[in-house]
Chain A
Amino acid sequence: MTAHPPVAAPRARGRSRRAVTSFAAVSVLVSGAALTGCAQQRDSDVYTVMNSSTDETYHRWDAEAMARCGKQLGVTIEQQSVPAAQVMTKALRMASSKSLPDIVQFDASEMPTFAEAGGLADLRALGLGTDDIPEGIVDFGSYKGTYYGAARSVNTLALFYNKDILDQAGVKVPTTWEELRETAKQLTQGKRYGLALSAGGAEDGVFQFTPFMWSNGGDETDLDSPEVVEALDYWKTLLQDGSLSKSTVNWTQADVNDQFMAGNAAMMINGPWQVETLNTKKSLHWGIAQIPVPESGAASVGPLGGAVLTVPNTGDTQREKTAGRIVACLAGEKEQLTYARNSWMVPANEKAAAEWREQVPELDALADQVAAARSRTAKLGAGWSGVSLALQSAFQSALTGQSSEAALKRAQQRATSGN
């Protein structure tokens, strides 16, 4: 840069002054835009739903349902889909910038965290009834007694089996742990494993461990109890028998489904959201059964999974009321049935579920399993995420060599002290 001599260049001086002013102006504009960008203007007839339907099919089904409900209520409903793992953090960010959408669909295990922070409106106060919804599913959408989340459908885990492989070997579908162990051993041949499940280091693995823990009488509040140790030891036996792949610790539930579809596993533990993918392979004949229990006659307790529709506290009561009506429509009996037929999940509403059972008899086992299923956050609420992390670390350690007892003792210690 060279500065011109003052006298000779009055024009240049003017220019540089102008340059300085425009710098300042630009800075002000930029920071101004940055600040106002946060507080979004709301259009009075346009309502937004944030969900995790990033899959093309789910996004389309949701868009269709929203179009129907929008037409019925005389509003426009927009869908904003973000990856499942980002719904919570995105919603929190939006909360701090006061730009929350009108409706957020949370995974039910995450809802308590948002409710505890004071971010959700009471759905009963917004006029939603819970008459036709089984108590377990109302609890599933509640936190500390307040009903915050309306489930459209729920899911759980079940035992999927390859009919052809089981027929060929002449074995029956296992119903107890002992039978499952024997059957899995018998069906393990060459490259094929008897059973596939996910013990991955994320919520997937914990979700899959819960039916074994709960059916055996174990509990998430007491991770080092003999019942939980026994359940983990059972997983270890399956691995030691060679009935499970060593990669189990690295698999997500989607990976498990891939293995099953490829014929690398004769049976798998998985959920109904895989059915759509399973059905794309016409040559695969699969059946579904309840997850085997420790001893015959015991109840098979699976984890209740699924998402709930919530109305965040935006402070605008009028909009919240309309949002409540939208939730009521989306989670209404008719829409539930449509959604369940599309997604293969079980309707939350009792009447819809009864009709669904008639329409989809092949998933009967699943409907039974859902009826007995348990919510992961019922006891711990927002504390679930810490226990879940401790449990992941524990079953991964145990499956890779440590004793179940030591691993779970450490997990319980970590869960209670936080480190």
Chain B
Amino acid sequence: MTTSTVTAPASATTPGKALAPDPARTRLRRRIAQWGFVAPAVVFMLLFFGYPLVRNVLMSFQHYTPKTFFTGEAPFNGTDNWSSVFQDVLFGKALWHTLVFTVGSLLGQFCIGLALAVFFNRRFPLGGVLRSLILLPWLVPMVVSGIVWRRILDQDTGVLNTFLGTLGLDGNTPWLTSPDMALLSVILVNIWIGIPFNMVILYGGLQEIPKELYEASSLDGASAWRTFRSITLPLLKPVITVVLVLGFMSTVKILDLILALTDGGPADATQTLGTLTYQNSFVELDFGAGAVVGNVLILISAVFAVFYLRANRTEGK
């Protein structure tokens, strides 16, 4: 806010300075006006972020069952929910799957997205058209992609296996039906979905890099790889941080894609924290346990949000 700086020159042009009402009241009014502008944001944050967050933490310490919806009573049960979730073998599995899924997806999405962004950064005929076509997976609702891919990956009648078969390769790959393959297949589909987002943001970052730097490096006789490593990557770093952190946050909480592709199966092979909290809360109706897993997810995201803020702050300096 620039309130204080404006007062000085303005009052200099005002003749009747002595007539001004007492400064304490003025300051108070200014304060009120300032808070008036901040208030909507604060109210919004408290109502739609603060309240659910606190509620979720509280719920994880409560015996919250269908009965609660009628009586409004949810007795506190200490750390019962937490210990039962942590003792559940499925929780450990889900945590591991979430980790593998997130790292695998981000790695694939980012590398392919960056490669495509660099590719489209040079101008060539039909480049714009191709670039917008690649955005398509992003525009399709996640559930629709999931259902279409479920058909594509079907072991007997799926397009992918039929295609592999005609090429003389193994046309009987159990993409979604083997517990050993299912997680990999789900990651591959998620990479396909995430490429456009990575490409668009990274492409935007590439456009920001001054062309003169590339001219200078080519005059110096730098190789393409050297140019990429010494100019593109360092200057793209802030954008890379943003892409990875945002990607992380949307990937770690994955639910819809997995529900549509495998429903967490076969034999819990694609169960992640997201599907586990869904299953606890909305299938078993054990809302306390669901809240515990939800809180773990929030905690993981929060840790990365802190990294993100710190990275941004150092960039700013």
Contacts and interface: CB of A to CB of B under 8 A. Distances in A.
A binds B: yes
Interface of A: 1-8, 13, 16-17, 19-20, 23-24, 27, 31, 85, 88-89, 92-93, 95-96, 113-114, 116-119, 191, 200-202, 245-250, 262, 264, 313, 385-386, 389, 392-393, 396-397, 399-402, 418-419
B84 to A, nearest CB: 6
A249 B33 contact: no
Given A17-B29, A96-B72, A5 B7 contact: yes
B264 interface: yes
Nearest to A398: B267
Contacts of B10: 4-5, 8
B11 interface: yes
Contacts of A85: 282
Contact of A117 (B6, B36, B70, B157): B70
B222 interface: no
Nearest to A202: B263
Contacts of B65: 117
Interface in B1-53: 1-3, 6-7, 10-11, 14, 16-17, 19-21, 26, 29-30, 32-37, 39-40, 43, 47
Nearest to B39: A23
Interface string B205-221: 00000000000000000
Contacts of B6: 2-3
A20 B33 contact: yes
Given A118-B70, A385-B284, A419 B263 contact: no
B267 A95 contact: no
A5 to B, nearest CB: 5
A395 to B, nearest CB: 9
A264 B284 CA distance: 35
B317 interface: no
Contacts of A117: 65-67, 69-70
A223 B121 CA distance: 60
Interface residues of B, number: 62
Nearest to B6: A2
B267 A402 contact: yes
A386 B279 CA distance: 10
Given A8-B10, A247-B156, A88 B70 contact: no
B88 A114 contact: no
B283 A396 contact: no
Nearest to B88: A419
A264 B154 CA distance: 13
A393 B263 CA distance: 11
A346 to B, nearest CB: 28
A250 B3 contact: no
A233 B20 CA distance: 93
B137 interface: no
Nearest to A396: B267
B279 A389 contact: yes
A419 B265 contact: no
Contacts of B256: none
B156 A245 contact: yes
The CB with the most chain A CB atoms within 10 A, among B70, B89, B268, is that of B70
Contacts of A201: 262-268
Contact of A400 (B40, B70, B178, B264): B178
Q: Which of A4, A89, A247 has the most CB of B within 10 A?
A: A247
A7 B33 contact: no
Contacts of A402: 267
7 contacts: A3-B7, A7-B16, A8-B10, A17-B29, A88-B285, A119-B66, A385-B284
